[in-house]
Chains A and B, each alone.
Chain A
Amino acid sequence: MSGAPVLAAFRQAFGEAWAGGAGALMPLGFLGGAAVLVPLGIGSDTQTLQAVGPGIIWVALALSSLVTLERIFQADVEDGTLDLWLQAGTPMAAIAAAKTLAHWLAAGLPLALASPLLALMFQAQISPQLLTDLGLYTLGGLAFFFWGGVGAALSATVRRGGLLIALIALPLYVPTAIFGALAMTGGIGSDGAPMLLAASTLFACAVAPYAMAAALRLAAD
């Protein structure tokens, strides 16, 4: 078994994310839009914004990961690429992992990189803390993409399955959200939280590709 189809899937997914103009800009725009609405909604008090900022960015990150994931496997189901992969006997878990990783690189990483900027909009002080937070957002975002991919693969054959993805994926986001928020807020028992966040992300990367593969085999039927 050569790695060529997996590499091709990666390249295709990566190109897809940039093609059509608004591919990777969509989630970024969504992230920015959602974050901008918050100060308009809750007022511009510096103290309040500083307090809610990190959490708002988490939420916006989780939601904007759902924006692109809706389409990640749908095109493959529609144009028959999926059937070709299955016929060629390519390991579907590897394909799914490659595609998700490509989408994360194209959309998820920019989202995380934009987070310090958003934090500044929420009146955060410029400090090394911003870089730590950036790392946490990157880790958490990766888990969001992998769990969201499971939802996307499961609803790949469902027409207008966007809302369904959200309903399926959000409960799977829970460990990431809990450990992430714990690491961010630094309350009681938060010492090990970054490690637990990393562990849950690794777990997502290990388990989600197999769930996606099973769901894709189902979608091909």
Chain B
Amino acid sequence: MWSYFANPHKFLGLSNWLAPVFYIAGALCIGWGLWQALWIIPKDDYQGGDIMRVMFVHVPAAWLAMASYSALAIASFVWFIWRHELADIAAKSIAPLGAVWTALCLATGAIWGKPTWGTWWQWDDARMMSVLFLFFLFLGYMALRAAMDSRQKAARAGAILAMVGAINVPLIKFSVDLFTSLHQPASVITADGPAMPAVYLTPLLISGLGHSLLFGGLVMTHMRTEIRERRIARLTAKALEA
């Protein structure tokens, strides 16, 4: 089934209707999540009052930062092993979007951190550091691709870097459990189930789904553009030859 969609033509057909569906569903989920977060859920004085409402953007952004890097590494792996061109196109499209969500995670984290912990940024917090470097990893990936003189080389160099950089993902995930610092330990995905009342958990999960759908839609649109750009480049080369 996967090699069926490895065909760019089939992908164009699929994403033609799937991307808009993702956009609409994502907008609905994010909209509902924000409505719940801003107006419905009760104020939580323990977590710093109204500021904890930023959680409904921060936590999905953090999930997506990690998930997008994992997706980048997986797409790179698939391209490296099977040389499906579409996997490289996916990796190239994921990188800038992943960087955006990572930046969003850092920004909302700082906004949340100032009133609750009294600081925008805490240097000895392993999770903040590792997310910051995840952001740099995305930038490095894009810079490396841009520096290569051919598309093949860009794809190969990028794939190697993305796979090597994947060592940081488990470190980010478990940094809050490994090191004691400001950042609270995991409270949604734990061995004993979510340590969070449903009134917060449901909007959080819906919000996370919405962000993922929006991300997926944007990646598909970016991939469609990239496929067409490569087609144009090939046609131009052909026209120049003739």
Q: Is the CB of A171 within 8 A of B165?
A: yes
B161: A residues at CB distance < 8 A: 150, 154, 168
Q: Is the CB of A171 within 8 A of B134?
A: yes
- Does any Cβ of B come within 8 Å of A25's Cβ? no
- Does any Cβ of A come within 8 Å of B96's Cβ? no
- Does any Cβ of A come within 8 Å of B199's Cβ? no
Q: Which of A164, A182, A207, A218 is close to B143, meaning CB atoms less than 8 Å apart?
A: A164
Bound-complex Cα distance A214 to B153 (A)? 12
Q: Which of A154, A157, A203 is close to B167, meaning CB atoms less than 8 Å apart?
A: A203
- Does any Cβ of B come within 8 Å of A8's Cβ? no
Q: Is the CB of A164 within 8 A of B178?
A: no
Q: List residues of B (120-142) whose CB comes within 8 Å of A's CBs.
A: 124, 126, 129-130, 133-134, 136-137, 139-140
- Does any Cβ of A come within 8 Å of B201's Cβ? no
Bound-complex Cα distance A168 to B136 (A)? 8
Q: Is the CB of B133 within 8 A of A174?
A: yes
Bound-complex Cα distance A207 to B164 (A)? 8
- Does any Cβ of A come within 8 Å of B156's Cβ? yes
Q: Is the CB of B165 within 8 A of A189?
A: no
- Does any Cβ of B come within 8 Å of A56's Cβ? no
A187: B residues at CB distance < 8 A: 124
Q: Is the CB of A189 within 8 A of B130?
A: no
B139: A residues at CB distance < 8 A: 167
Cβ proximity bits B179-221 to A, threshold 8 Å, 1 near / 0 not: 1100000000000000000000000000000000000000000
Q: Is the CB of B156 within 8 A of A218?
A: yes
What would be 5 A-B contacts, judged by CB atoms less than 8 Å apart?
A: A168-B144, A170-B136, A171-B134, A174-B130, A188-B180
Q: Is the CB of B165 within 8 A of A172?
A: yes
A158: B residues at CB distance < 8 A: 147-148
Q: What is the interface size of chain B, counting residues whose CB is below 8 A from a CB of the partner? A: 31
Q: What is the interface size of chain A, counting residues whose CB is below 8 A from a CB of the partner? A: 29
- Does any Cβ of A come within 8 Å of B163's Cβ? yes
In terms of DSSP, what is the predominant structure of the interface of chain B? Answer: helix
B49 to chain A, nearest CB (A): 28
- Does any Cβ of B come within 8 Å of A142's Cβ? no
Q: Is the CB of B157 within 8 A of A215?
A: yes
Bound-complex Cα distance A185 to B179 (A)? 13
- Using CB atoms and an 8 Å cutoff, list the residues of chain B in contact with chain A: 124, 126, 129-130, 133-134, 136-137, 139-140, 143-144, 147-149, 152-153, 156-157, 160-161, 163-165, 167-168, 171, 175, 178-180
B144, B152, B163, most chain A CB atoms within 10 A? B144
The chain B residue sitting closest to A163, CB to CB, is B143
Q: Which of B152, B160, B171, B180 is close to A175, meaning CB atoms less than 8 Å apart?
A: B171
- Using CB atoms and an 8 Å cutoff, list the residues of chain A in contact with chain B: 150, 154-155, 157-158, 161, 164, 167-168, 170-172, 174-175, 178, 181-182, 185, 187-189, 203, 207-208, 211, 214-215, 218, 221
Q: Which of A171, A181, A215 is close to B133, meaning CB atoms less than 8 Å apart?
A: A171
CB-CB under 8 A for A167 and B160, given A182-B179, A188-B180:
no
Q: Which of B124, B129, B147, B157 is close to A218, meaning CB atoms less than 8 Å apart?
A: B157
A59 to chain B, nearest CB (A): 12
Q: Is the CB of A207 within 8 A of B147?
A: no
Bound-complex Cα distance A161 to B149 (A)? 13
CB-CB under 8 A for A174 and B144, given A211-B163, A215-B160:
no
Bound-complex Cα distance A221 to B152 (A)? 10
Q: Which of A157, A174, A185 is close to B153, meaning CB atoms less than 8 Å apart?
A: A157
Could you list 18 further interchain pairs (A-B, Cβ under 8 angstroms) beyond the known A167-B140, A208-B164? Answer: A150-B160, A150-B164, A154-B157, A154-B161, A157-B153, A158-B147, A164-B144, A167-B139, A170-B133, A171-B134, A174-B133, A175-B168, A178-B129, A178-B171, A178-B179, A185-B124, A207-B164, A214-B156
B134 to chain A, nearest CB (A): 7
